[in-house]
Amino acid sequence: MPLPAFVSILHRASGAILFLTLPLLLYLLGSSLESPQSFGVFKSWVSNPLVKIVLIGLLWAYLHHFCAGIRHLAMDMHKGLELQTARATSYAVLGVSLLLTAAIGVKLW
């Protein structure tokens, strides 16, 4: 499978993951804002390493979806449609989303 197709599939998958987890994330945000006690419960829950890994995965999904979305918008404006450019922007999307995830993930861990 060509890399641009793989990035496009990941864009769709990350969008679906974000869409499906949005109600849970909004619930967690709302419950963390109810009181100092509920924030403490939320903070202790999020300190679990498994939960952190899941949240970093969601962070990657957001960043990949964002970066690939910019790439798709440019392609909708007929920019970067050549094979070499499409491959280069695919590598850029993967690299930037992974680097940003690593940088933010280390900061949040």
Q: Which residue numbers in the chain have pLDDT < 50? A: none
Radius of gyration of the chain from its Cα atoms, rounded to whole angstroms = 17
**From residue 78, how far is each of 13, 71, 73, 85, 86 by CA, in Å?**
24, 11, 9, 12, 11
Domains of the chain, CATH where assigned: 3-108 (1.20.1300.10)
d(CA 44, CA 17): 24
- Residue 109 is predicted with a pLDDT of 87
Residue for token digits 């993967």?
94
- Residue 47 is predicted with a pLDDT of 92
- Residue 103 is predicted with a pLDDT of 97
d(CA 4, CA 14): 15
Give the closest residue to 58 by CA, choosing from 21, 28, 31, 93: 21
